[in-house]
Amino acid sequence: MRFAALLMASVLAVDPFGWDRFGPLRFALISALGFLAIAISYGAGDQRPQPLPRWTVLGWTILIAAMTVSTVLATDKWTALIGTPERHFGLVTWFLLVGLFAASSLYPNSIIRPVRGGAMWSTAAAGVWAILESFGVGWFDSAFAGDRAGGPFGQPAYLGAAMALLIPVSASLAFDTTANRAIRLCSGASGLLGLIALGLSESRAAWVGFVVAVFIAIIQRRQLIAGVGFAVLLGIVLIATPLGDRATTLGELDSGVVAGRLDEWQVGARALTDTATFGVTGHGPEGYRTVFGRHVDEQYVIDYGREVITDRAHNGILDVTLTGGFAASIGLLLLQLGLGVTAIQRMRADEVFDRALSVGILAYGVQQLFLFPLAELDPVLWIFAGLLLARRPRRTTYPPPLFRTVSGSKQVVMATAGILAAISAIAGLSDVAADHAVKNAIDATEASESLEHADAARERRPDSIRYDFIAARVATEPGTLDAFSAALERLDHGLELSPNDPAFLAERSSVLLEIARRTDVAGDLALALDAFDALDVLDPNNPAVQSDHGIALALDGRSDAAIEKLNRAILLDPDAIEPLLNRAIVELEAGRLDDGRETLAILEELAPSNATVESLRREFLSE
């Protein structure tokens, strides 16, 4: 049941009382239940029925060693160790994955029933959630571009990835003639609900992964009629539903998922060499976010914007290479290729469950070519992987003793996993409490009460940069000098934990600018300008930063330099009103009336009823 509990927590752990209802509780349960499952498995003294393949031991050894070295060399060591509050994919998560893989491989038969049951009920629940969400039903309703469903993940791409992985296993009993009719009907219904959720997610990466895996399975089984039937059904769905329009974008080089991913991969490729070791050790787990700004180009920003901080490369291998270096990617490639070959081979197995595991693993692996490793779902993937390898035909010859276990001493593994489970439970519960404090801060009516709750969140998880950032935002609400000074104090604390975090650096420069505007002290303005100068190196193509830098230069009396920065902000974000408005103010105050008049004319086209434009005309142009 321990593996089933982890599987269900990965999909369904949602906190209805939290601010981030899809995050803290889920990660708390995944980490605590995961390490607990490892500890119990090795504490039971169970023996692996056959040695794991050499490629698994070699792949995991290389991957974990590379990630460990990259963590030690990372600038943000704490973040590299535990992960960011949003992704949670630090070094600890990599140890969780290898532990779950090794632990599940101890049980080729005994955990099949609970794992299959967990997959079946989780998939059914996710399908019902997605349906309710698509109809805008109360608490389930969420707003995503194109009315996509995010399900219990709050993310359409994650929902699609989960369904690609779980649908085959959840529906496997429907094809098992030895199961009773009621169970077969439940399994079939679960698979159907999962397919609906997969469609409603509109995750093209998951669609591709699922379709590729199913077709390979059909080819491996040499079932021509089933292949034709699946192709016809797929065609009907794409033609008769709005999903077809989404699917056709896969072939559009200017707007499809392929074009977008290619642009992202180009940025990632440039960032690969941005280390002292020329990419050998990477930037550390979760480190890509700290160098993305240096390598993103103007056209990418114009096409896709910078509203969301890019912290992952949308390709599993590239993402691991950026964080762990080329050695880590070699280890992961060994694992993925070996697992992919094994999955394709086991699609010919007589057991329905083995074929289902194989299809789900392959579907998830293919979709990850367009996504990245997920701390929410990769634990389930590697449980499936360990189980599949444990169920492969017994070999007549075995590797040497060195390769008979990936874990070494069972007592050491059990004790270490138990300690990590306890730490994860304590830290996870503290994170849930901190998240509830944030919810209280948002709901509070008084600014002082709101800040009190935000600071309470910081106290509960002083190691988490998320709550420093939130408290800083809450602190600025009164808009006074004291308020911005309080925000600066909280931002500086966060930067002690993560010195190169782009969100903190940008926010800090903005707060310094607000302080300088209120004090009119040269020293305060100099601090703001220094912060912007540093960001010009770290993140030169951020339109919000360029706009604020322009304002700071204008306050310093350098109107030409200010206009240059504002023009850059306008170039990077052509639809934004604020940099245009600030440029008009700088031009008019500098006496460049003709330039100001032209800028105001542009603003009138973009925002015809903007009161500030009329005010500027009356004040400077007497119109």
C-alpha span between 317 and 313 (Å, rounded): 9
* 248 Cβ contact partners less than 8 Å away, ≥ 6 residues apart: none
pLDDT digits (tens, 9 = 90+) for 432-480: 999 999 999 999 989 999 999 999 999 999 999 999 999 999 999 999 9
pLDDT of residue 275: 65
pLDDT digits (tens, 9 = 90+) for 510-561: 999 999 999 988 999 999 999 999 999 999 999 999 999 999 999 999 999 9
Counting every residue written for the chain, the total comes to: 623
The pLDDT of residue 623 is above 60: no
pLDDT of residue 319: 94
Residue of 518 and 251 predicted with greater confidence: 518
Task: State the sign of the Cα–Cα–Cα–Cα dihedral 463, 466, 469, 470.
Answer: negative
Q: What is the pTM of this model?
A: 0.91
The pLDDT of residue 277 is above 90: no
pLDDT of residue 252: 60
Per-residue CA distances from 60 to 104, 287, 347, 555, 560 (Å):
15, 21, 24, 55, 56
pLDDT of residue 617: 82
Interior CA angle at 269 toward 573 and 56, to 5°? Answer: 130
Confidence band of 46 (pLDDT split at 50, 70, 90): low
Percent of the chain at pLDDT > 70 equals: 91
Contact 48, 393 (CB under 8 A): no
pLDDT of residue 231: 73
What DSSP letter does each residue of 425-465 carry, written as one string? HHHHHHHHHHHHHHHHHHH-SSHHHHHHHHHHHHHH-TT-H
**Which of 499, 528, 384, 409 has its CA nearest to residue 76?**
499
C-alpha R_g of the chain: 27
pLDDT digits (tens, 9 = 90+) for 376-415: 999 999 999 999 999 888 764 555 444 444 444 778 888 8
The pLDDT of residue 257 is above 70: no
Summarize the confidence of residues 483-489 as an average pLDDT: 96
Structural domain spans, the chain: 2-7+55-391, 437-621
The pLDDT of residue 622 is above 90: no
pLDDT digits (tens, 9 = 90+) for 82-98: 999 989 999 999 999 99
Residue of 298 and 220 predicted with greater confidence: 298
pLDDT of residue 402: 44
Confidence band of 288 (pLDDT split at 50, 70, 90): very high
Residue 616 corresponds to which tokens in the numbers above?
């500027």
The pLDDT of residue 9 is above 60: yes
pLDDT digits (tens, 9 = 90+) for 295-353: 999 999 998 888 888 888 899 999 999 999 999 999 999 999 999 999 999 999 889 99
Q: What fold characterizes domain 437-621? A: 1.25.40
Confidence band of 253 (pLDDT split at 50, 70, 90): low
Summarize the confidence of residues 577-593 as an average pLDDT: 90
pLDDT of residue 315: 92
Summarize the confidence of residues 484-495 as an average pLDDT: 95
Contact 434, 461 (CB under 8 A): yes
Residue of 48 and 492 predicted with greater confidence: 492
Percent of the chain at pLDDT > 90 equals: 65
Per-residue CA distances from 304 to 259, 309, 538, 572 (Å):
12, 11, 19, 10
